[in-house]
């Protein structure tokens, strides 16, 4: 098999790679533009963990190529350093150092000096997590609890409002994880992220495409009261089934105002089993905090009328193929994939273990709650109803 000639990508070609990578294209799709295999592109993108490095630029105070050419001509003609500096409007010491560090008066060349200056300027800025090791250890401990970088950054500002030494952006945390050359956080901590990829990627939002059957007497989400829609009052929930392998699942419930999560063990996905599990679980909450439930079009809730009769909780259904209408639950199901990856057998989890996972999620600070936790918000609601 004939081996293809090695290709050296130009800066403009690399810029195209990064642009398409940000748009979510695969390595293979990007490589096809250059008639190459995905590995030739991966080598470039993986060097910085899938994060595009900042574009370099020269300092406004640095000598320009034109100034260096003037210095080179003056050296050849034997002009004094002071006269050269006066013509350029520079300090004599600046011109003197420039000549000495680039070969002296005998070997000074403008183009070579300019390139050497550009190479010497490649000094990466020290990461804040490298300089502040207590902060790095604190960030690592929260990552081990499956907190997202954004949650950690928001919580730090909330916990240390006046101590800016403990403020760090979520982007800095991501870069410290994916760019190992920084030496701030161990690569093993990537396993605790919601999506533990080797390189950072743009997010992909998927929607269910299964054809859901019709549910008799389903009340559309369009008939849901406005107070539910704007999250003005607590007690309105969104729910769905989260599947592990083909034969195991749990019911996930999220309160719309506080984002409080409850997980319900269900031994089957048929409507009788699911509805029975939801009825038994509903009695654990006061009526004031469980007024309605919005569900996807899955037929597991075809027995919704029996659920409403038993609990006095109204049930609303999303429009077909519109799971985004219960976005809080969809987002939560994504977070739960850290604990229940697709294909795992969830049936081995007892209700107490499911409660422990829910507690983990409820004790994470949330950006949408101004970095308070769902547990704090929800228990405030319970106290007010008491």
Q: Angle CA(308)–CA(347)–CA(321) in degrees, nearest 5?
A: 50
Do 100 and 132 have their domain in common?
A: no
Same domain, 110 and 141: no
254 lies in the same domain as 342:
yes
Residues 350, 258 share a domain? yes
30 and 97 in a single domain? The answer is: no
The structural domain count of the chain equals 4
Output the domain CATH number for residue 278.
3.30.420.10
Same domain? For 115 and 135 the reply is no
Residues 6+ apart with CB under 8 A from 353: none
Provide the 3-class DSSP secondary structure of residue 314. strand
Its domain, for residue 153, covers 128-192
Tens-level pLDDT at each residue, the chain (386 residues): 455 566 777 877 888 887 887 777 778 888 787 777 777 777 777 776 777 777 777 878 888 889 999 888 988 888 898 988 898 999 999 989 988 988 888 889 989 988 888 877 766 667 788 888 999 899 999 999 989 899 999 999 999 999 999 999 998 888 888 776 667 788 788 787 876 666 766 554 333 434 334 788 889 998 988 888 888 889 999 999 999 988 899 999 999 999 999 999 999 999 999 999 999 999 888 888 999 999 988 889 999 999 999 999 999 999 887 888 899 999 999 999 999 999 899 999 999 999 999 999 999 999 999 999 999 999 988 887 76
186 and 235 assigned to the same domain: no
Residues 226 and 357 reside in one and the same domain: yes
Answer yes or no: is 1 within a domain. no
| Residues 15 and 134 grouped into a single domain | no
Residue 203 resides in a domain: no
Question: Is 172 found in the same domain as 273?
Answer: no
DSSP single-letter state for residue 366: B
User: Is residue 213 one of the residues assigned to a domain?
Assistant: no
- Check whether residue 37 and residue 74 sit in a common domain: no
């Amino acid at each position: 098999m004939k081996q293809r000639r090695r290709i050296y990508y130009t800066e403009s070609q690399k810029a195209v790679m990064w642009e398409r990578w940000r748009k979510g294209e695969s390595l293979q799709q990007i490589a096809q533009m250059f008639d190459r295999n995905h590995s030739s592109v991966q080598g470039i993108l993986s060097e910085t963990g899938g994060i595009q490095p900042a574009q370099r630029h020269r300092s406004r105070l640095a000598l320009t190529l034109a100034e260096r050419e003037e210095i080179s001509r003056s050296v050849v003609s034997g002009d004094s350093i002071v006269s050269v500096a006066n013509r350029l409007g520079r300090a004599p010491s600046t011109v003197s150092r420039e000549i000495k560090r680039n070969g002296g008066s005998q070997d000074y060349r403008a183009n070579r000096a300019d390139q050497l200056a550009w190479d010497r300027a490649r000094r990466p800025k020290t990461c804040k997590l490298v300089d502040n090791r207590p902060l790095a250890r604190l960030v690592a401990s929260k990552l081990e609890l499956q907190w997202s970088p954004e949650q950690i950054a928001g919580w730090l500002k909330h916990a240390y409002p006046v101590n800016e030494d403990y403020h760090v952006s979520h982007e800095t945390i991501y870069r410290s994880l994916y760019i190992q050359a920084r030496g701030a956080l161990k690569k093993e901590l990537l396993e605790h992220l919601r999506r533990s990829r080797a390189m950072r990627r743009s997010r992909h939002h998927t929607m269910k495409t299964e054809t859901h059957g019709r549910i008799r007497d389903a009340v559309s989400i369009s008939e849901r009261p406005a107070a539910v829609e704007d999250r003005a009052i607590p007690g309105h929930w969104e729910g769905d089934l989260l599947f592990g392998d083909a034969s195991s699942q749990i019911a996930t419930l999220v309160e719309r105002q506080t984002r409080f999560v409850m997980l319900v063990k269900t031994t089957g996905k048929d409507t009788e089993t699911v509805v029975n599990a939801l009825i038994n679980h509903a009695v654990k909450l006061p009526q004031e905090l469980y007024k309605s439930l919005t569900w996807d079009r899955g037929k597991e809730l075809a027995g919704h009328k029996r659920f409403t009769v038993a609990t006095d909780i109204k049930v609303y259904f999303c429009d077909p193929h519109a799971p985004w209408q219960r976005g809080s639950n969809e987002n939560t199901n994504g977070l739960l994939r850290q604990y229940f990856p697709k294909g795992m057998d969830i049936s081995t989890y007892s209700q107490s273990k499911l409660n422990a996972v829910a507690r983990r999620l409820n004790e994470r600070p949330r950006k949408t709650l101004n970095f308070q936790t769902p547990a704090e918000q929800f228990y405030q609601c319970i106290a007010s109803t008491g």
